[in-house]
Amino acid sequence: MKDSTMQDQVGRFLDSVQSERQFAENTVAAYRNDLTQFAHFIESPASCVDGDVECAPLDEWGGLKADHLNAYLRYLEQKDYASSTVARKAAAMKSFASWLQQEDVTSDDVGAEITTPKVAKYVPRAISPDEVERLMDEPIKDGNQRPDAARDHAMLEVLYATGMRVSELVALNMDDVEQEHFSTLQVGEADRARTLPLSVRASDALAHYLQEARSHMVHGDVDALFVNHRGGRLTRQGFWLILKSYAERMGIGEMTPHTLRHSFAVHALRRGLDIKDVQRQLGHVSLSTTRVYWQLAQQPDTEWGQE
């Protein structure tokens, strides 16, 4: 930004929402990026024009008007930004505009005059139980005994049995596993930690991987539960490539790591698991986030959504 005062005020706003509204770090980072981009836009005489409406370039937030916000939103739409991205940027601008008015930087809350774009309703995609069954068996198909096949089989079984996030799967360490029966996993950190039970199938697959295969893949003292071909921790991207290869071999089509998480939730609700138990396993803070799976579980398989 040309004016460090503008940048300083953005920083003060972000400090405020993080401390008072307990925004997550990734949300604060997204807001910082959104507001920095917005500031660059309104500083430029060439860009800060919207058809017949010209909003004067600014070098201080005190001159901010609703025209600036509306011009920027239309600029984003013309650039074909996703509706969810435009909605997030609008939310950042509205919150910042409200804060500027509270701090007496502006006389009015100019953000109150703009309309946040509607976001298309997200419907997660789940695959059928039969497709899950085929996917689980794909790594060990035809009696494949390779160590990486045992690892892949265990990862898929664990992911589907628990509904955990892929980031949680690859972050697992050896001491997160209940070692006597391989029946539970400890996931998450501090106050967000949760213990997830494993199905018999997942327990058996994990036990086989740990007892028969992992020692052939690791090199030295490695904490990671699931390792790559070099013996280090497997990454999210590495897992996605593994899953993609199995899905392509089966002809399932488009599949992401989240597909198994969605499938776990839908299938668990269909089996009669209480929605609050599903919420706990998924690690959702709000029950409303889990309810989308309940709605999906009531539909025939052929109407399940797309990611």
DSSP codes, 25-53: HHHHHHHHHHHHHHHHHHH-TTTSEETTE
Within 13 Å of residue 149, how many CA atoms lie on the same side as its CB? 10
Where, residue-wise, is CATH 1.10.443.10 in the chain? Answer: 130-254
Return mean pLDDT, the chain: 87
pLDDT in tens, 58-96: 889 999 988 889 888 888 877 777 777 888 899 999 999
Position 81 scores a pLDDT of 77
Q: How many CB atoms lie within 10 A of CB 1?
A: 15
Position 254 scores a pLDDT of 78
CATH number for the segment(s) 4-113:
1.10.150.130
The CA-CA-CA angle for residues 117, 118, 123, to 5°, reads: 140
Position 48 scores a pLDDT of 56
**CATH class given for the domain over 130-254:** mainly alpha
User: Which parts of the chain register pLDDT below 50?
Assistant: 1-2, 50-53, 302, 305-307
Where, residue-wise, is CATH 1.10.150.130 in the chain? Answer: 4-113
What tokens were used for 21? 């509204």
Chain centroid to Cα 113, Å, comes to: 31
Position 34 scores a pLDDT of 93
Question: 256: closest CA among 268, 269, 244, 273?
Answer: 244
Q: Are 196 and 162 in contact (CB under 8 A)?
A: yes
